[in-house]
Structure 1
Amino acid sequence: MDSSVHPKRILVIGGGVCGLVSLRNLIEYGSFDEVQLVERRDDVGGVWYLDEHGTNNASEKKPRWPSPAYPGLIGNVLPEFLSFSDAPFPEPPTTPEQPFPTLKETYNYLRNFADQYLKQAKIQLNTEVVRVEELQDGTGWNVVTRDWSTAGEGKTLSNVWDGVVVCTGWYDKPLWPKTEGMDIVKEKGLALHAKWYRGPQEYTGKRAFIIGNGNSSNDIASHLAPLAQNPVYRSIRRPSLRHFVSLPDSRIQDVAPVRRFTLQEDDKITAELQDHTIIKDIDIVFIGSGYIPNPSFLYVRTPNSPSFSLAPLMSQISAEAPQPRRIPSLHRHILYAYNPSLAFIGSVMCFTPFTIADVSSMWLTLAWTNEVEYPSTSKDLLQFEKDRIEDIERRREIEAQETGREASSLFTYSALGSSEEDYAAGLKQEIVSSRPELAKVLPEWNDERRIWRQTMYPVKYQSLRWLKVQREKKASIEENVVINSTATC
């Protein structure tokens, strides 16, 4: 099909970082008749909106979709990289030693950014997208939503949109390792994905076992170390990437990957490791193995099929395919090759998701106003995915040969990694070629910026050391208060 599209009515799905900046860019820089955003929760912010209601009220039929964030979370991205164009992040009320915004500060930034669009009714909260179906002639999308704004089962509505932007991100469907015995431990409620971690207090004195050494696993381990039974075990396959910053802690013991879990008679867990080590009497296992993209509501016409039957988008790839953890058939990680009136913002993981979402959605806006050119056939649009998969597979093989071990699971199609600046710079170049005035609106993407971004990791390490010292000082003061109070009794 001819890929040139210019949708007039556009629906944005998801009110997190990607959805909010997409809404702004489509409204402020596009030429569309209507742009609307729907969000299934009762507020915007995505993962940065911490819904304190972790479970459903038994008498309430409205579902909840809690954030994977947890109280006390502090980010690992500096304010410069959390700023949308023309909307600088406020100077956080923190110290020079701890310059990273907190969960609450980041949520406040997003909530303030969305305020005008909430007042203009451009954002519709409590609206769950149940199903999105590609129309048979490929000229639009039938979107079925469920309205949870009033009491009851949720009123179902249906509407047709010319274009749909999926901004649901990555942090919705947890990825569980296929370790032998995991299903039994999970069914017993003794294994918990990092998505559902809400703090260490209830695990005081427990023996904890953590899988992974990314940001979530490292945070959970450091939180548990002062309260849980020591050591806290952290099972890892390879050394941590340097941007997963954490302090060394003698109370955390790194161990080999797990071969199998076994449930003991007392409902505790035994872990047999790949190096044949046996760890018994584990009370809780935390899973930090990440997430998989899963827009399960999205149904498209089967490509190259005479029947044009509907099928889930994600059925286009199999678990055996190269790089299966991805949104398939996307040009520039944005446009759906078989029907470019469907787009994704946030389809790939990156170090600076705020700014990448900004430049990506700006590119999409100009693509849909026919100001930015892109390939005119699905075959040519698919070439981007083909080339990237081949490049990633080649680079994974090189890394495995050079290191003698399996390449990192984050070295994948679905993570921009070291190509982040080049990817963003390419998008910006095409944007500026169409609208030169945007050159000073969007940030620069170059080697200097790459170096600047990379300096965040040693800064984060130093901030963690500073926070540790502050906690130790506070604990010492509290201990002296208790001793002095006892002495005067």
Structure 2
Amino acid sequence: MPATSCGRPQPKRILIVGGGPCGLVALRNLTERGQFDKVKLVERRNDVGGVWSLNATSDRHLEDPDGGQNPSWASPAYPGMVGNVLPDFLYFSEHPFPKTDRPHQPFPTLSETQEYLKRFAKPYLDDGSIRLNTEVITVDELPNWSGWKVVMKDWNSGGVEVEEVWDAVVIAVGWFDNPVWPPLSGLENLQKQGLAIHGKSWNGPSGFGGKRVLVVGNANSANDIASQLVSVAQIPVFRSVRRSPFPGFVSLPDERIHNVTAVRECSAVVSSDGRKQVKVVLEDGNQIEGLDLVIFATGYKPYPSFVSVLDDSNLQPLVSQSVEPQRIPRVHRHILYAPNPTLAFVGAVMAFTPFTIADVSSTWLSLAWSGQILYPETTDGRLEFERQRLVKLGETAKFFLENEGTERVPDDAKNVCVNGQLTCFISYNVLSIEEEPYAQGLRDDITTVQPELGIVLPEWTKERFEQRNGMYQLKLEALRAARDKSITDEA
């Protein structure tokens, strides 16, 4: 594999893992904006789209027409899902998202977003650049930057294992395969008995008629699940709220949803008629008994457990549950693995506008691997990004903890810290207020070496930040319009 004299590799054969939005735009940008001999993408499902691909089946094996066994991976998407990002922010450069003709509901639906991604992917599906039904089992680093050994199962051929070596690998998966569960006493027992599920398994309110349900969480998924449940479940539907909601997670007040404090512990009990039920004890000491199910809409984390890297000539998992704060460690600019920059990540951070962030980061990667964008040439230099981010994260957390309830905390940030508890948005993996400067910094690097890309890439300016923040009010208005229409239709 060719490399520059200063140690920045220039791979020629690149494999992308994951056919969701991040992987698809990385494929386009590495193919069309880089200088490589071969770029391929593998996706374990039978279609592209990732989290935007509705798959109502659970994680089980389904018999295929040839008599073999093909696995089917559930998507966190659910029927009736509507996005929270306007078309102006939900697109890839040079591929605008079609305008919606709904003045009172301008946010794209699940099916519209899925169709957008399928149209975007079609040329690469047609020319064979995307291999579907191909599950990556392991990605192992080879010595001396000599590439990555990738073991895959080809489910087009009944699951036969295939081994390939690539100069470089882009990991474009990692979040939505890894549900976050709170560390609650008694939770593991509930999971084993089917009395607790994660929001990833939510597939709409069908089957919940008359059920007594608690939803844990206060973000978009929890709000959607609770609002869908009230039409069929036993009233009230309980929603466990640890802290006040982040401004971007808008929802309408509903007297049928009863907010309670955080759950302290939970246990399985047997009712007088022999049914398995749940009892929870809340942080305020109150208890809820007779629950049929607890749904944990408590988020996800990046955790590509299939990647192993060399440490003193021994392969070790790239990520560990013990890493604090939780993150994919040693990654420069949230993109390049610092010890060996032939491993890269697209979508390793949570962003308000994930499509455009994936677009600019994979464009940056394409030009970096082509030798046009220069980055620190030593491992230590590349690690400086992580060191600085950890310091800043600690300083930010300290500020909010020390100044909670004072005038030093702006009104629009009052919910960052509640009763001495920091919001999950003070997190290494979440860009939050750093999104605009982070993306603009990547864009500046890009346009310095490829000025023509400045015509197609968005700018992350103060005006764009204000426009993006305005989406929350528009979402609230859209929810009100949908509610009013529903009331009118019922009448």
**Structure-1-length-normalised TM-score:** 0.93
1:453 equivalenced with 2:458 (yes/no): no
Residue number in structure 2 paired with 1:39: 43
The Cα shift of 1:364 comes to: 0.2
Tell me, yes or no, if structure 1 residue 117 matches structure 2 residue 111: no
CA deviation after TM superposition for structure 1 residue 396, in Å: 1.1
Match of 1:395 in 2: 396
SS of residue matched to 1:174: coil
Query: In the aligned structure 1, how far is the partner of 2:403 from the partner of 2:210?
Result: 42
**CA distance, structure 2, for counterparts of residue 109 and residue 472 of structure 1:** 31
Shift of 1:137: 2.0
Instruction: Find the residue that maps to 2:143 and give its secondary structure.
Output: coil
Could you give the per-residue CA deviations for residues 412-471 of structure 1, whole angstroms, max 9, x where no partner exists?
110000110100000000000001111111001111100000000000000000001111
Which amino acid letter does the alignment assign opposite residue 147 of structure 2?
G
Alignment of 1:236-251 (within 5 A): 236-251=241-256
Contact kept, 8 Å, 1:167 with 1:346, in 2: the verdict is yes
Aligned to 1:482: none
Correspondence for 1:19: 23
Encode CA deviations 1:261-293: one digit per residue, 9 max, x unaligned: 121123111111111101110111000111121
CA distance in 2 between counterparts of 1:374 and 1:161 reads: 22
Correspondence for 1:141: 148
Q: Give the aligned partner of residue 484 of structure 2.
A: 469
* Contact kept in structure 2, 1:3 and 1:375, CA below 8 Å: no
Shift of 1:474: 1.7
Matched, 1:172 2:177: yes
**Would you say 1:347 and 2:356 are equivalent positions?**
no
- Match for 2:138 among 131, 148, 163? 131
**Partner Cα separation in structure 2 for residue 198 and residue 362 of structure 1:** 35
Partner of 1:366: 367
Amino acid at match of 1:214: A
Q: TM-score, normalised by structure 2?
A: 0.93
Offset, 1:2: 5.6
Spell out, residue by residue over 1:320-370, the C-alpha distance to the aligned partner (whole angstroms, 9 max, x if none): x4312x111100000000000000000000000000000000000000011
Offset of residue 389 of structure 1:
1.0
Number of the residue aligned with 1:260:
265
Partners of 1:201 and 1:140 lie apart in 2 by 48
Equivalent AA in structure 2 for residue 173 of structure 1:
N
Q: Does 1:419 align with 2:434?
A: yes
Gapped regions of structure 1 (runs ≥ 5): 477-489
In the alignment, which of 292, 299, 305 is matched to residue 296 of structure 1?
305
**Equivalent of 2:280 in 259, 263, 271:** 271
Q: What one-letter code is carried by the residue in structure 2 that aligns with 1:469?
A: D
In structure 2, distance between residues paired with 1:361 and 1:227: 44
Q: Which residues in structure 2 correspond to 1:280-319 (within 5 Å)?
A: 280-302=289-311, 305=312, 308-315=313-320, 319=322
Q: Distance in 1 between matches of 2:458 and 2:61?
A: 45
- The 5 Å alignment of 1:161-240 reads 161-240=166-245
Cα deviation per residue 1:25-68 (whole Å; 9 max; x = unaligned)? 00101110000000000000111111233353564622111110
- What residue in structure 1 maps to residue 412 of structure 2? none
For the Cα contact (< 8 Å) 1:211–1:236, is it kept in 2? yes
2:115 aligns with one of 108, 111, 127: 108
Structure 2: any 5+ residue segments left out of the alignment? 405-418
1:204, CA displacement in angstroms? Answer: 1.3
Deviations 1:163-192 (A, max 9, x none): 100001411111111100101111110101
* 2:324 maps to 1:322: yes
* Residue pairs, 1:432-443, within 5 angstroms: 432-443=447-458
Distance 2:256 2:401 in 1: 31
**Paired residue secondary structure (1:52):** coil
Task: Name the structure 2 match of 1:10.
Answer: 14
Deviations 1:188-208 (A, max 9, x none): 101010000001121111111
Aligned residue for 1:386? 387
Residues 397, 407 of structure 1: 8 Å contact kept: no
Q: CA deviation at 1:138?
A: 2.1
Give yes or no for contact 1:18–1:169 (8 Å, CA) kept in 2: no
Are the equivalent residues in 1 in contact too, given 2:62–2:72 (CA < 8 A)? no
CA distance in 1: counterparts of 2:448 and 2:335, whole angstroms: 19
Matched, 1:68 2:76: yes
Could you tell me how far apart the structure 1 residues matched to 2:19 and 2:445 are?
Answer: 27
- Residue 480 of structure 1 is matched in structure 2 by none
Aligned-residue offset at 1:400: 1.8
In the alignment, the residues of structure 1 paired with residue 61 and residue 378 of structure 2 have an alpha-carbon distance, to the nearest angstrom, of: 50
Partners in 2 of 1:141 and 1:108 — Cα distance? 33
> CA–CA distance in 1 between the matches of 2:387 and 2:124?
38
Matched, 1:28 2:32: yes
Contact 2:62 2:70 in 1 (8 A): no
SS at match of 2:243: coil
Cα distance in 1 for residues equivalent to 2:479 and 2:449:
44
Match status 1:88 vs 2:87: no
Could you report, residue by residue, the CA deviation over 1:84-128 in whole angstroms, capped at 9, with x for unpaired residues? 000000112x41000000000000000000000111100000000
SS of aligned partner of 2:235: strand
Q: What is the alpha-carbon distance in structure 2 between the residues aligned to residue 292 and residue 467 of structure 1?
A: 31
Partner residue of 2:415?
A: none
Match of 1:77 among 71, 81, 85: 85
CA distance in 1, matches of 2:62, 2:451: 55
In structure 2, how many angstroms separate the alpha carbons of the residues matched to 1:52 and 1:144?
28
Kindly state the Cα deviation for residue 75 of structure 1 after the two structures are TM-superposed: 0.4
Q: What is the rounded CA distance, in whole Å, between the counterparts of 2:303 and 2:187 in structure 1?
A: 22
Answering whether residue 50 of structure 2 is matched by residue 49 of structure 1, we say no
2:459 maps to 1:444:
yes
Whether the 8 Å contact between 1:210 and 1:217 is mirrored in structure 2 is yes
Residue number in structure 1 paired with 2:409: none
Distance in 1 separating the partners of 2:183 and 2:118:
38
Which residue identity does 2:258 align to in structure 1? Q
Residue identity opposite 2:55 in structure 1: D
* 8 A contact 1:3–1:378 mirrored in 2: no
SS of 1:213's equivalent?
Answer: coil
Residue type of the alignment partner of 1:322: E
